[in-house]
Amino acid sequence: MNVKTKGVAVGANPFSLWAVLAMVVLGALLFVALLWMIGTGIGMGTANDGKAHAEGKGLNGYAAMADYLERRGFAVEATRNPAALKRPGLLVLTPPAIIKGKEIDKIVSARRSIGPTLVIAPKWQPMPPIREQRDKAKKGWVRLGGESTLDWPGFLDELTLSDDTLPKAQAGWRTDGIAGTLPTGTVQAGKGEGLVPLAVSRDGKLVLAGFMDDGGRYDGLDAMAQDGQHYIEGEDYDEGRYPVVMVFEPDLLDNYGMARIESAQLAEALVRATGVRPGGAVVFDMTLPGYGHAQNLLTLAFTPPFLAATLCLLLAAVAVGWRAFLRFGPLLVPERAIAFGKRALVSNAAGLVRRTRRFHLLGPPYADRARERLVAALALPRGVDAEHTDAAIDRALAARGADGEPFSVIAARLHAAGRSHDLLKAARDLHALERTLTR
């Protein structure tokens, strides 16, 4: 009996079928999303820490450049996975001043047959806002201190950097069809053998950005070059080689410089000149600035070609869960070992006899009990032996003119029965005889 309290039966399931399904599905989706976020590194916090990288929103960061290129239709991604540095498309490196040149060269050399690389040199030493500015400053904002000392032995050793100070009126740059101004008069420039200028100072004496003439054919960069036509018809070029573009003056592309529309136009022009068009991949590296994480099993599980196996496992789990949720028929309730009531007692006794196969023990008691009932029904003398009682019952049956076997014969069959079939046949015949005599 269920006792109801406020319309809910005590002992009833408090959740409906659909509520349970919703909880299971939601929990499974959240668990898969957690695994995916752990594997890909998404959702692990912002890297807006005042450093010079794609997620930095200070003056020295490149968040504005990444956002602008994405709005212009490029597939922009800031990656913390070292394996992603070998994907096709443009790779933008923003290494800090303290990084080893061999680490940069290792990344650039591995990409020479994969895709172009844009390396932006560091310039400023970021500092936190002064006390008077901290209340108004947003997360990631910095003050620009002195220039950092750059020394990258092992990476483009044929190039050298120089720091120049120009009058404010001359602190500008120009390139093919675009010209702009620099936010400060402190200019960082490069020079060296094989360097082809792309962006120069207004007087043309300082190379602010360029690419390396390394035997490859780069039509887009050649058209943008500031030293005349670089590509010469008929010369032998390596068609499978991709360019390395160096930006020596970071204020051309960092948030400080991207406040000017000319710098935004220069950023897109450089990307297009490397051969990447809208829709193409532009990957900003976050490993050199210190945000790289090594691949693990979860990372591989959500990376092709292992992603296909992961999806198959998820679909199999969904199928198993759905089949378990929609089980066939009601729950099976196990029977009691010893049931309640007289009928159960008889059933238990019958089961015991059937298990022990002692059928020959059932016939005589059944015949004796039937004889006692007939003696009472026919008002025969009690205390007489079984043989005389059986004869009296046979005479009573004959007096009624009934056909069939007499009681003594059926009782003898019951005593002699050793199989369940013979026992059941004799018991049915005795029951029919008893009904004939007691009507």
365-410: pLDDT as tens digits: 888 888 888 888 888 888 888 888 888 888 888 888 777 788 888 8
Secondary structure letter of residue 381 according to DSSP: P
Q: Which residue has 């198959």 as its token pair?
A: 312
Cα 401 to Cα 19, 171, 373, 388, 431: the distances in Å are 74, 139, 21, 20, 18
Tokens 């000149």, located at residue: 273
User: What residues have CB less than 8 Å from 376, skipping those under 6 apart?
Assistant: none
Beta bridge partners of 61: none
Buried-state track 411-427, b at ≥16 Cβ within 10 A, e below 16? bbbbeebeeeebbeebb
Instruction: State the Cα torsion 374-376-379-383 to the nearest 10°.
Output: 100
Q: Is the dihedral of CA 268, 274, 280, 282 positive or negative?
A: negative
Q: What's the mean pLDDT in 202-229?
A: 86
Nearest to 186 by CA among 199, 167, 207: 167
Please give the C-alpha separations between residue 33 and each of 30, 38, 112, 238, 416, in angstroms, as whole numbers. Answer: 5, 9, 36, 45, 77
Tokens of 402: 């009934």
Percent of residues, the chain, with pLDDT higher than 90:
26
Determine the pLDDT at residue 176. 85
Structure token digits, residue 272: 């297009």
Count of residues for the chain? 439
**Highest mean predicted confidence (pLDDT) among 39-53, 151-165, 347-361:** 151-165
Looking at CATH, the fold of the domain delimited by 47-129+137-293 is given as: Rossmann fold (3.40.50)
386, 346 Cβ separation under 8 angstroms:
no
Which pLDDT tens digit goes with each residue over 67-123?
999 999 999 998 888 888 888 999 999 999 888 999 999 999 999 999 999 999 998
Residue 249, phi then psi, degrees to nearest 5:
-100, 100
Q: What is the pLDDT of residue 119?
A: 95
Which pLDDT score is estimated for 2?
A: 43
Q: Could you state, in order of their start, the residue ranges of all structural domains in the chain?
A: 47-129+137-293, 296-328, 341-437
**pLDDT at residue 218 greater than cutoff 80:** yes
The secondary structure element, H or E, covering residue 186 is: strand 186-192
184/272 Cα distance (integer angstroms): 27
Confidence of residue 432 (pLDDT cuts 50, 70, 90): confident
Statement: residue 48 has pLDDT above 60: yes
* Angstrom distance (rounded) from CA 36 to CA 302: 7
What is the mean predicted confidence (pLDDT) over 174-180?
90
- Residue pair 56/260 in contact by the 8 Å Cβ criterion: no
Q: What is the C-alpha to C-alpha distance for residues 407 and 413, in angstroms, rounded to an integer?
A: 10
The residue ranking higher by pLDDT, 309 or 145, is 309
Rounded to whole angstroms, the Cα distance separating 285 from 78 reads: 6
Given this model, what pLDDT does residue 273 score?
93
Tokens representing residue 221 in the block: 């960069």
User: What's the confidence (pLDDT) of residue 210?
Assistant: 93
Percent of the chain at pLDDT above 70? 82
The answer to whether residue 129 scores a pLDDT higher than 50 is yes
The confidence score (pLDDT) of residue 71 equals: 95
Please report the pLDDT score of residue 316 as a whole number: 87
Q: Give Cβ neighbours of residue 37 (< 8 Å, ≥ 6 apart).
A: 43, 44
Q: Do 101 and 153 meet the contact criterion of CB atoms below 8 Å apart?
A: yes
Distance CA 252, CA 421 (A): 105
Mean pLDDT of 297-325: 77
Q: What is the pLDDT of residue 421?
A: 85
Q: What is the pLDDT of residue 120?
A: 94
Residues pairing with 245 in the sheet: 118, 211
Mean pLDDT of the chain: 82
pLDDT digits (tens, 9 = 90+) for 3-31: 444 444 444 556 677 777 788 788 888 88
User: Residues 231, 222: contact at Cβ < 8 Å?
Assistant: yes
> What is the band of 1 on the pLDDT scale with cuts at 50, 70, 90?
very low
For 281-306, what is the mean pLDDT? Answer: 76
Is 391 exposed, middle or buried, given 0-12, 13-18 or 19+ CB atoms closer than 10 A?
A: middle
**Is the model's pLDDT at 229 over the cut of 60?**
no
Report the alpha-carbon distance of residue 186 to residue 167 in Å, rounded.
Answer: 9
- The whole-number average pLDDT for the span 178-183 is 91
For 324-355, write each residue's pLDDT tens digit.
777 655 666 666 666 567 777 777 777 777 78
According to the model, what pLDDT value does residue 246 have?
Answer: 94
Asked if 325 and 335 count as a contact pair (C-beta separation under 8 A), the reply is no
